[in-house]
Chains A and B, each alone.
Chain A
């Protein structure tokens, strides 16, 4: 190859935001994996449902609607500070990022806390029968997500306070909020299955 012609990329920016980044596509891959797990668990739920004479079986009361619904409201509410943190990150507004990420964490403490009440009012134990098992694993799978999302957001928020903060950290904040969207939106079908499928069948 003749090396007289070159493509000089030294003027390109040292990073980018949003779907241009490498991490965005990696996150998307993780979202696909986890969505598949959720989808298969939900499919299993209906597989059992179709094979039981009654649902929930043995006259078990459906999970108490109150805590699940309260948590759905909290989770959806957390999208507001999450979006504000994302926008602050795109503006590279450190003050805004700090404020809204702390608010996000407060919401996360809230929905993790209420999750305990959800488990306590499922009205069935995992070792009672297959119905109990599938309900517990559905809620358990999502709980893994809200716990880990809380932990990694907490680490990132800490970094935004103690520094050093370089511009790439703002890209991290934005990507964190993209994943947060997934964790919240993935809850809606699971909420529908756990709380409404037993009531509508």
Chain B
């Protein structure tokens, strides 16, 4: 459905031009693109750090990098990939796609989402500037006390880590709330929860996990800062503190984090498989239930990261069982995907290549995961390269491969142009080969006793050939990523122009032009099935009657998406940016003195008042006092109009 855009409507939904205007953007497409580009930039930086490590480890007794810098590099690499790349890039996809997929004109709380972007960006800049000032964190991406306590890390390095956590968690919590609300309240009429696209299910399940997981690491990192700054004793054993409590709090976040990264990946897989098998996903209900149950179980197995700490055996057995049980929903999804491909008409375009790559790599990672759930094997290979191999198979296989599939799949929607199929095959081949060459030998290295986080090793250990192989693999991966970058930049200007729906997909983001107009849908769609573009009858109604001179959005019921009321959404604003600046000052200041929190709170408060201060009396489209009676309905009253599709 290519629709001629109404210039009036387009103007209403436009973000302001110019540099200052750029700081005011609130359009979810603009913020989503920024998220994707920024997170990918962080991915490149994290990748360069990884390459430095692979150079250092490529031969024994190498002196390219010393132990101190090596500590900073592997900590910053892990921190970057987890907090600045994996979570934000998935949320960035959600910010861009979820409103389109549910047929909405905007994301809920667009200014909050804009604010979250500034927190992410400033947090990343803060980390890398600290790294360049030789103050990059060097205590591992999980920052265990007692090493991270002031006695053993008197410098600011551990504080930088802890405050980076605050930056990124504020951002991802804000996005999670916005995505949940978008899905619950802004769906197109007719899109009941039973018709929610699986990608959107994955995003909303992930967002709920964020709500319950991220607070744990925020609390823990705040307590760590307090230990370091004002002399509390949360993790200081000498004064009754408990270093293991850190591990509990950290992994209560850290294990769900794996699923926060992986579940959006499965959402991508389900979407691409359905499109390229040319049929609805096999087993919609079991797939959705698998996502939900994975999320629940994901909170019940954090202790398997702590098997080496000597916890009671009964507890360890429980967490072994829980860890193995997670294979059930994951297996269910894999069988549903296989059934979909088997019974569909497979079309092997580039996005689908990445999904096949995902299958191979992720299944290997899942198998070593089941192995690691067993306490004896776990304690044997604890802190060895076997764990490094496992986690990269799970995270790169489970998230990065689907993510590249997503880049190829949605690139035409976002830019209006297609990536090259030929180069895409090359990128896939380089990354797939390079990945396995890099990380498969690490299983063996781990079993042969090579510990992780060592900056070098003596020649007599017999680890040199496999390490060299891994480093060659890393080089191939780098070539693959560079090829992708070249293609992505080239295609933006010279790629073949994409139609509205180049893959003949069924979800609503393909119902609008590529790239979508400012208002997303000049005529907002309604849905009669799970894949509206496949299922809707030819005369499926479109929504009319929203204002064109204001950012008027249709709000629907939570469960059945019946039209409920209209709401005028906020205009672009500089205040989210200013609030981001003020918050950054507070966070960075607080590393040096607790008074930074006290004095820094003033500007944050003022910026927030500016943010919420009403601009024009008629902004909300409701009557101005004095008025005689209430016009807006309460929950127990019927809507004034609207009705079933």
Contact = CB atoms under 8 A, between A and B. Distances in A.
Interface stretch (A4-12, A76-84, A190-198): A4-12
B565 A127 contact: no
Most buried by A among B211, B536, B557, B605: B211
B122 to A, nearest CB: 21
Contacts of A188: none
B545 A11 contact: yes
A185 interface: no
Contact of A18 (B609, B634, B639): B634
Contacts of B180: 25, 29
Interface of A: 1-22, 25-26, 29-30, 32-34, 36-37, 40-41, 44, 47-48, 51-52, 57, 90-92, 94, 126-134, 136-137, 151, 155, 159, 163-171
Interface of B is mostly: loop
Contacts of A25: 108, 180-181, 184-185, 558
Nearest to B616: A164
Given A20-B635, A151-B605, A9 B642 contact: yes
B622 interface: yes
B248 interface: yes
Interface of B: 1, 108-109, 112, 173, 176-178, 180-181, 184-186, 189, 211-212, 214-216, 218-219, 222-223, 226-227, 230-234, 236, 239-242, 245, 248-249, 252, 523, 525-526, 536, 538-546, 554-555, 557-558, 563-568, 605, 609, 612, 614, 617-627, 629-635, 639-642, 645
A130 B625 contact: no
A10 B554 CA distance: 10
B215 to A, nearest CB: 4
Nearest to B553: A22
Given A26-B108, A92-B627, A9 B216 contact: no
Contact of A14 (B173, B558, B621): B621
A91 B215 contact: no
A10 B621 CA distance: 12
B233 to A, nearest CB: 5
A37 B219 contact: yes
Contact of A92 (B538, B558, B629, B633): B629
B232 A17 contact: no
B565 A33 contact: no
B181 A129 contact: no
Contacts of B625: 94, 163-167
10 closest A-B pairs (Cβ-Cβ)?
A: A10-B545, A11-B641, A29-B177, A167-B622, A133-B232, A130-B240, A127-B231, A168-B620, A165-B625, A36-B215
A3 B511 CA distance: 13
Nearest to A57: B240
A70 to B, nearest CB: 26
Contacts of B523: 3
B635 to A, nearest CB: 4
Contact of B233 (A5, A17, A47, A129): A129
7 contacts: A9-B641, A11-B641, A15-B566, A18-B634, A57-B240, A130-B241, A137-B222
Contacts of A5: 539-542
A9 B544 contact: yes
Contacts of A9: 543-546, 554, 563, 566, 641-642
A131 B545 contact: no
Contacts of A131: 240
Nearest to B227: A133
Given A90-B630, A167-B623, A168-B620, A32 B212 contact: yes
Nearest to B223: A137
Nearest to B568: A14
Nearest to A14: B621
Given A13-B632, A25-B180, A133-B226, A2 B640 contact: no
Contact of A32 (B211, B222, B541): B211
A30 B536 contact: no
Contact of A1 (B112, B536, B544, B614): B536
B241 A133 contact: yes
B566 A12 contact: yes
B389 to A, nearest CB: 32
Contact of A166 (B184, B218, B245, B617): B617
Contact of A155 (B186, B545, B612, B621): B612
B40 to A, nearest CB: 27
A189 B640 CA distance: 42
Contacts of A26: 108-109, 112, 177-178, 181
Given A26-B108, A167-B623, A37 B218 contact: yes
Contacts of B234: 44, 130, 133-134, 137
A123 B231 CA distance: 17
Contacts of B642: 7, 9, 11-12
B560 to A, nearest CB: 13
B555 A10 contact: no
B181 A29 contact: yes
Contacts of B558: 25
Contacts of A17: 632-635
A19 B635 contact: yes
B168 to A, nearest CB: 15
B238 to A, nearest CB: 9
A15 B565 contact: yes
A15 B211 contact: no
A166 B624 contact: yes
B87 to A, nearest CB: 15
Given A22-B109, A36-B215, 19 more contacts: A1-B1, A1-B540, A6-B543, A7-B526, A9-B546, A10-B545, A14-B620, A15-B620, A15-B621, A26-B112, A30-B177, A44-B234, A48-B240, A90-B630, A133-B227, A133-B233, A166-B622, A168-B632, A171-B632
A29 B633 CA distance: 23
Contacts of B245: 44, 47-48
Contacts of B186: 22
